[in-house]
Amino acid sequence: MPVQHLRAIPGERGHAPQQEQALAPCKDRVASGVLFAVGIYAKIAKEKDVVDTLTTDPALLLLTVGSLMFIITFLGCFGALRDAAILLKMFLGVLLVILLLQIAAAVLGFIFSDMVLERTDLLMKKAIVLYREDMDLENVIDFVQKKFLCCGVDHYSDWSQNAYFNCTENNPSLEACGVPFSCCVRQRNETVFNSMCGYNTQRMEEVSVRERIYTNGCLKKIVLWGKHNLLLVGGMSISLLCLEICMVALAAVQLGQIQRDQQKKMKSGIPRQR
């Protein structure tokens, strides 16, 4: 009888190397993207001026956060709509990194709270120096001082670090030895607000100046507000954390479903011998 040579039917194991080979370039791209992000972070971390500019420029900060949110949501939405596993993997990886960074920042902030306050103090004082130079930053500082009824970072005399409010003899500014109008105490039954109420307040005694401006620093007021509203801040943080965990879980479920569907399609496409 003639011997029939049977051809081996490729099974699932035969397709596993093909899957790995197809995903290899994607893995390389993801790894290169992670390395690129780490390189950018390392470069920015060395440039303290860049970090300070980012934290003291509200417009740049909003632009950066908005761009990052757009990229993340694009990866998630487009990956879910097109069943693109690689995009969902990137979306899931970015969410996990952000989640871990938030947890690490919370733990480190709690452990090194004094260092965080010291760094915040330096950034706020640099913001005072840039007052009048950046309109957005000026509006933010005025809002904080009005909201928390404070003036300066630690003391109202911090405004002497600003070129316009510096209390020196050779300062030609009309606001020399003064403070911004947002430091002023609003008087009862005041119909017209006096925007020049902070003029020459740095030359006055602190006891007498308290009737015109707020003398307490904003940093202590903000920390005190956080302690008084600890439940609110903690609740919002926990809610955000739970939301991110849900997003990670949903992305993982969607990714698993896509991978199962791809495996079913590959199995159905294998020729079977009758």
What string of pLDDT tens digits covers the 274 residues of the chain? 454 444 444 444 444 444 444 444 455 555 555 565 566 556 555 555 545 555 566 677 777 778 888 888 888 888 877 778 888 888 888 888 888 888 888 888 888 888 889 989 999 999 999 999 888 889 999 999 999 999 999 999 999 999 999 988 888 888 999 999 999 998 777 777 788 889 999 999 888 899 899 999 999 999 999 889 888 888 888 898 898 888 888 888 888 888 888 888 888 765 444 4
What pTM does this model have? 0.66
Could you give the C-alpha distances from 202 to 15, 207, 266, in angstroms and in order?
78, 12, 78
Predicted pLDDT of residue 66: 81
Contacts 24+ apart (CB under 8 A), 94-102: 95/244, 95/247, 95/248, 95/251, 96/248, 98/244, 99/241, 99/244, 99/245, 99/248, 102/241, 102/244
Predicted pLDDT of residue 16: 45
Predicted pLDDT of residue 268: 79
Structural domains in the chain plus CATH codes = 15-111+229-268 (no CATH), 117-225 (1.10.1450.10)
Predicted pLDDT of residue 31: 56
Predicted pLDDT of residue 37: 58
Predicted pLDDT of residue 139: 92
